[in-house]
Structure 1
């Protein structure tokens, strides 16, 4: 028997997670995340949080969180709620959001014993990974207004164009697509990214800059919704 863990996304998973991200307000004692097994067989679930290194596992994670239960069995048609508790007061910046990652590893059952049961088989474990945003108390502004306070600059990279984002706010700006206004986004070039709180980042953009210098950024909000917004850019 061989077990392989892969990041395949929810389309290949039997367990559906209620959300695409987790926001953890510092004033809350804990937050919860629900899951439902939509498959026809029981699933074993392991959950942990990492600090941004995808190679971190539950036993090596340095993230200041506890998840209960860390492992559980979910029968077909049943659900499970994960409780997430922050344990690292003082270990993260208090003037901005900090990004962690929640991992959910789904392990299918072994083939049933019997005459036709295979002697050798491959067990495919599906790993889902989503952002967990730790949000300290008293941050100035709001996540919905953060994009309006970012600054964008378009530069040539020799083969095309990059968009440099400067974010002076306390909130991370996550987006699903980035394109020049009037130019369709090309997923292979401009698919997804995040302009970090009080930081900078650079992203490739397909096509040519338009005369008005505007970019279209499809922002992802706290609830996983998509909101296309226009922003100005300089050269």
Structure 2
């Protein structure tokens, strides 16, 4: 889950910690979403675990870092979250032009501006208000794809190449890594193309000598972990 902060207004910077701490209870009830083709809509829940009300705004974007139009509508896009409450939202697909032979990935982005705690006497004129938010992946999954997402995670193909260790995803599903190692040495997952292997795509880690056993842990549709291993030929 990606967390990002959005500057809302500028007042007294020394008091900004108060506003941020109020927003610590804001979140989404899951770490990823799967939208099956023809579903009509799927649900997602926002939560406010703090003692202050919040105004939350949500949308689906083509990228995680900022808003970029995507073929989905969130209803309602703007909600008031009462203290220690939850609110269910619906996500609707509004396009039929997405690829039918593979998954597409989008990002559900939700941000909230915290209000003041009841009875504290806080004034909006004397606080910095920050929006705190979350971004999670939304996978659009067409009907009739061969195999399953779990098959895709299990059947990744690792091979030695001149440049190092190559992984190939021959499936129509995205595969996200939680952990990857070769002979007990962790391999970096800091790049987006390494962290998540797109359908029918590959990625190569530059290594002087790729040999031994590859162990990888993937993230499933529900945010759980699956562990696999393969000895390089």
**Aligned twin of 1:82:** 89
TM-score normalised over the length of structure 2: 0.79
**Aligned twin of 1:8:** none
After superposing on structure 2, the runs of 4+ consecutive aligned residues of structure 1 that deviate more than 6 Å are 111-116
Structure 1's unaligned 5+ residue stretches are 5-11
Cα pair 2:197 2:203 within 8 Å, conserved: yes
Matched residue SS, 2:218:
strand
For these two proteins, the number of residue pairs brought into alignment is 212
Q: Which among 81, 102, 110 is matched to residue 104 of structure 1?
A: 110
Cα pair 2:56 2:110 within 8 Å, conserved: yes
User: Superposition pairs for residues 53-72 of structure 1, below 5 Å?
Assistant: 54-56=65-67, 61-72=68-79
How far apart are residue 114 of structure 1 and its match? 8.5
Alpha-carbon displacement from aligned partner over 1:2-58 (angstroms, at most 9, x marks no partner):
299xxxxxxx632232110000010311100112211111111100111126232xx
Structure 2's unaligned 5+ residue stretches are 1-8, 14-22
TM-score normalised over the length of structure 1: 0.78
Whole-angstrom distance in 1 between the partners of 2:166 and 2:126:
51
Matched residue SS, 2:38:
coil
Cα pair 2:100 2:142 within 8 Å, conserved: yes
Whole-angstrom distance in 2 between the partners of 1:113 and 1:181:
58
After TM superposition, the structure 1 stretch with the greater mean CA deviation from structure 2, 105-114 or 35-44, is 105-114
User: Superposition pairs for residues 1-235 of structure 1, below 5 Å?
Assistant: 1-2=9-10, 13-52=24-63, 54-56=65-67, 61-89=68-96, 91-110=97-116, 117=123, 119-154=125-160, 163-183=165-185, 185=186, 189-190=188-189, 193-203=195-205, 209-210=210-211, 213-233=212-232
How far apart are residue 117 of structure 1 and its match? 3.9
Cα pair 2:116 2:122 within 8 Å, conserved: no
Whole-angstrom distance in 2 between the partners of 1:109 and 1:25:
36
Alpha-carbon displacement from aligned partner over 1:204-228 (angstroms, at most 9, x marks no partner):
78x9745xx3211110000000122
Write 1 or 2 for the structure with the bigger share of helix.
2
